[in-house]
Amino acid sequence: MSEDRKKGCGTILVVEDDPVVRRFIEAAINKTDCQVTSVGDGKAALTAIDKEKYDLVITDLKVPAVNGIKVLEYVKKRQPDTSVVIGTAFGSIENAVEAMRKGAFDYLTKPFSAEDILEIIDRVIGYKRRQNNNSQAASSDGSSLIGVSHSTDHIRNLITMIAPSKTTVLIEGETGVGKEVVADALQQASNRREKPFIKVNCAALPDTLVESELFGFEKGAFTGAHARTKGRFELADSGTLMLDEIGEMSLHLQAKLLRVLQSKKFERLGSGQSVEVDVRVVATTNRDLKEEVKQNRFRKDLYFRLNVVKITVPPLRSRKDDIPPLARHFLDMYCRENEVKKTLSQDALEKLTDYDWPGNVRELQNTFEKAVVVTPGETITAENLHFVDEYRDLFEYLFSSEDDITIHEAEKQLILTSLKRNSYNKTKTADALGITVKTLRNKLKEYGEPVGEENS
Ligand SMILES: Nc1ncnc2c1ncn2[C@@H]1O[C@H](COP(=O)(O)OP(=O)(O)OP(=O)(O)O)[C@@H](O)[C@H]1O
Ligand SMILES: [Mg+2]
């Protein structure tokens, strides 16, 4: 059992057998004033729960000895006030639903980010970021947004301009460009900054779950609805609600959302009574919603309703001036995290600015996460920078093989590669490959790969 005691605002138990993930969660918690205890299996978790009271337990679903659901049940029996968050693998949404019905506070779908963990801690305990981590904290002009390009300046100005109002904002841009960073900066610049900031990822959940997530439900609304539960709209009251990947929302839910945006009222599932809320809505999308409207996949009226102000975050390749400051930022960040000191050589910087960054800022960040760890000396040179190019790996696999490769095998590898590249989002993958989601699902079934939920 590794223990890290600090004076702080709450106590958290982490149950995770993968040491890398465990350290990652610990590092995120260490950005707060909370105390963290971590264990590697369910049995040790039960012992820890017997010994001490926790405010929050974050457990992986599949941990050795006693699984996450059993840990949840044990906590609910011994420490009913303690919130439990379950980490689940991508595609195992049924387990997440089961956990929620058994009283879990929330669940985290892997891979999750440090921000996801901080958001959960904030909702359960409320936390203060530690003073020494404040260099990245947002300020009122959106300076958490790093970059010196003309487009980033423009976005900063837009944020300052629209932050005080309640207007709905639509943030468009390719994957990894920083849409969420823009949404965060907007929230921080607004007078709602002390108020709840609730995020819902519309792509990660099946339709039925999005509906109960958004609007909440009454006791008995469906099997397993044991208690009245507030939805995200209600939780966001007086604050901001971010609807992430709104382009993935079904037409049925789009109609419901439109009504809520128009009337500011909604009903919990299983209730006839309407609830009124004061919520600023920020929606993000990596699809061209205008095009989606043309294809009848997105409601025109909802599009107009959301598109009061649009912020388009351009791809990193078209604002290369942002690369050096972002690179320095990520270098600092990972050096601090790994407690090392490294600098960047001129040829490394040139390699970074020459590259096209299909995965945008996220890919740049990942590049530094690795480079800081793999570089032996003090200077990161061009050779230490490796860009993850799944398609190049695929190409090498297909053409350097000794044996002939069948079309069937090539197709399978292409589909699996594209899936990985599109963060396992089936809609995006199908779009990229020029096939329908249905065909993609059939192919995955054929390969014996997990097909997941309808909308994931
Ligand atoms: N301008 C920026 N300054 C600092 N960090 C940034 C900036 N833009 C992006 N990042 C970092 O890059 C990563 C990806 O950003 P973010 O999650 O906001 O992208 P996104 O556009 O929402 O991606 P997706 O479409 O996949 O949801 C995050 O870790 C974020 O902190
Ligand atoms: Mg995002």
> Is 110 in the same domain as 74?
yes
Residue 236 lies in a domain: yes
Half-sphere exposure of 281 (CA within 13 A, CB side): 25
| Cα distances (Å, whole numbers) of residue 276 to 99, 238, 279 | 29, 11, 10
In a domain, 442, yes or no: yes
Distance CA 381, CA 343 (A): 9
| End residue of a domain, out of 340, 367, 384 | 384
On whether the CB atoms of residues 233 and 215 are closer than 8 A, the answer is yes
pLDDT in tens, 70-106: 999 999 999 888 899 999 876 666 777 778 878 888 8
Q: Are residues 117 and 9 in the same domain?
A: yes
Task: Pick the residue whose CA is nearest to atom 24 on ligand 1.
Answer: 175
Tokens matching residue 165:
């109002």
The pick from 188, 245, 361 for probing ligand 1's pocket by mutation, whose C-beta has the most ligand atoms within 8 angstroms, reads 361
Q: Whose CA is nearest to atom 6 of ligand 1?
A: 178
Give me the pLDDT at residue 47, please.
Answer: 95
Instruction: Give the distance (Å) from ligand 2 centre to CA of residue 181.
Output: 8
* Closest listed ligand to the CA of 177: 1
Which tens digits make up the pLDDT trace of 23-40?
A: 889 988 888 888 899 999
> What is the C-alpha to C-alpha distance for residues 437 and 117, in angstroms, rounded to an integer?
31
Residue 456 has pLDDT above 80, yes or no: no
Do 88 and 100 have their domain in common? yes
In this structure, are residues 198 and 241 in contact, taking their beta carbons and an 8 Å threshold?
yes
CATH of the domain at 255: 3.40.50.300
Cα distances from 213 to residues 78, 205, 210, 264, in angstroms, run 27, 9, 5, 17
From the list 425, 413, 414, 416, the residue with the least C-alpha distance to 456 is 425
For residue 67, report the distance from its CA to the centre of ligand 1, in Å: 33
Residues 177 and 296 in one domain: yes
Beta-strand relationship, 35-39 and 11-15: parallel
Look up residue 5 and give its DSSP letter.
Answer: -
Q: Are residues 292 and 360 in the same domain?
A: no
CA of 145 to the centre of ligand 1 (A): 9
pLDDT greater at residue 179 or residue 139: 179
Are 168 and 279 members of one domain?
yes
Pocket of ligand 1 (CB under 6 A): 145-147, 173, 175-181, 286, 361-362, 365
On whether both 10 and 152 belong to a single domain, the answer is: no
Q: Which amino acid is at 165?
A: S
Q: What is the mean pLDDT of the segment spanning 133-144?
A: 42
| Distance from the alpha carbon of residue 311 to the mean position of ligand 2, in angstroms | 14
Alpha-carbon distance of 254 to 303, in angstroms, equals 10
Beta strand segments in 65-143, E:
83-88, 106-109
- What's the gap in Å between 177 CA and the centre of ligand 1? 5
- Cα 211 to Cα 216: distance, rounded to the nearest angstrom: 8
Question: Would the pLDDT of 134 be above 60?
Answer: no
82 and 57 in contact (C-beta within 8 Å)? yes
pLDDT for the residue numbered 3: 38
Average pLDDT of the segment spanning 227-238:
88
Shortest-distance ligand to the CA of residue 423: 1
pLDDT tens figures, 145-191: 999 999 998 999 889 888 888 889 999 999 899 999 999 999 999 99
CB 10 within 8 A of CB 56: yes
Q: In this structure, which residue's CA is closest to atom 7 in ligand 1?
A: 178
Q: How far is the CA of 179 from the centre of ligand 2 (A)?
A: 6
* Residue appearing with tokens 């909702």: 123
Residue 130 lies in a domain: no
Per-residue pLDDT band at 48 (split at 50, 70, 90): very high
Give the residue carrying structure tokens 């993609």: 440
Read off φ and ψ for residue 253, nearest 5 degrees. Answer: -70, -35
Q: Locate the ligand 1 atom nearest the alpha carbon of residue 147 and give its number.
A: 1
Q: Which of 254, 289, 314 is the last residue of a domain?
A: 314
- CA 110 to centroid of ligand 1, rounded, Å: 17
* Residue 249 to residue 264: CA distance in whole angstroms: 19
Could you tell me the CATH number of the domain that includes residue 406? 1.10.10.60
According to the model, what pLDDT value does residue 30 have? 85
Overall domain count for the chain: 4
Mean model confidence pLDDT for the chain = 85
Structural domain span for residue 371: 318-384
d(C-alpha 380, C-alpha 342), whole Å:
7
453 in any annotated domain: no
Best residue among 155, 362, 423, 429 to mutate for probing ligand 1, ranked by most atoms within 8 Å of CB: 362
413-437, pLDDT tens digit by residue?
Answer: 899 888 877 767 788 888 889 998 8
